[in-house]
């Protein structure tokens, strides 16, 4: 059975030997999505490691960096991550390299699969974890696609088509330098 989407103290996860599941069907703060984020997250406490896996999908509305028109972009992720539960284990004299190597072998992953760490006395927030996974999928440069009309070279009120190479219409002088660069 899935629990409501809320953060949980990492120490409480020890009480769930099979792990804890969360279902997602909501908008996430900081991710301007058109549709609710739908999916699931599962976290399993494994001694000094938190194994997290999940999948989620949503649709976001982006603004094309070239033509400034909005377009919808589907985001979908499926990820599995091992999170090192750090400082307390180090102070207890646990050799981090030995733990990471044995956990990686147990879970059939590379030892360098550990990219994150959490305070074992802190909380695990499944909503934030999914937010991070989806946010990493957002493009650095927003481009609406192959049919992008490009920048509006026409002046204000002259329509989106602007002037073409045949001289069908006037080109706004502010865009003249860009017109010389266009193929």
pLDDT tens-digit readout, 91-135: 455 555 555 565 555 555 555 555 678 888 889 999 999 999 999
**Positions of the chain with pLDDT lower than 50, given as ranges:** 1-2, 88-91, 155, 160-167
CA distances from 153 to 60, 71, 90 (A): 28, 20, 61
pLDDT at 37: 96
Q: Which residues of 69-79 are buried (b: 16+ CB within 10 A; e: fewer)?
A: eeeebebebeb
Reduced to 3 states (helix: H, G, I; strand: E, B; else coil), residue 11 is helix
State residue 60's pLDDT score.
95
Q: Where are the domains of the chain?
A: 8-135, 151-183
What's the confidence (pLDDT) of residue 141? Answer: 93
Per-residue model confidence (pLDDT) at position 96: 55
pLDDT of residue 117: 80
pLDDT value for 84: 86
Are residues 85 and 10 in contact, defined by beta-carbon separation less than 8 angstroms? yes
């Amino acid at each position: 059975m899935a629990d409501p989407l809320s953060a949980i103290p990492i120490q409480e996860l020890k009480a769930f030997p099979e792990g804890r599941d969360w279902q997602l069907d909501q908008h996430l703060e900081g991710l301007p999505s058109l549709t609710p984020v739908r999916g699931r997250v599962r976290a399993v406490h494994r001694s000094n490691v938190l194994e997290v896996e999940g999948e989620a999908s949503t649709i976001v509305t982006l603004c094309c960096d070239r033509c400034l028109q909005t377009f919808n972009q589907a985001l979908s992720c499926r990820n599995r991550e091992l999170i090192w539960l750090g400082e307390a284990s180090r102070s207890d004299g646990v050799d981090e390299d030995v733990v990471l190597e044995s956990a990686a072998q147990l879970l059939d992953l590379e030892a360098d699969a550990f990219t994150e760490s959490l305070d074992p006395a802190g909380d695990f927030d499944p909503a934030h974890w999914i937010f991070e996974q989806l946010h990493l999928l957002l493009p650095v440069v927003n481009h609406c696609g192959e049919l992008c009309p490009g920048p509006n070279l026409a002046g204000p009120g002259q329509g989106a088509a602007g002037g073409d190479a045949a001289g069908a219409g006037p080109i706004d002088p502010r865009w003249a330098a860009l017109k010389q660069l266009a193929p």
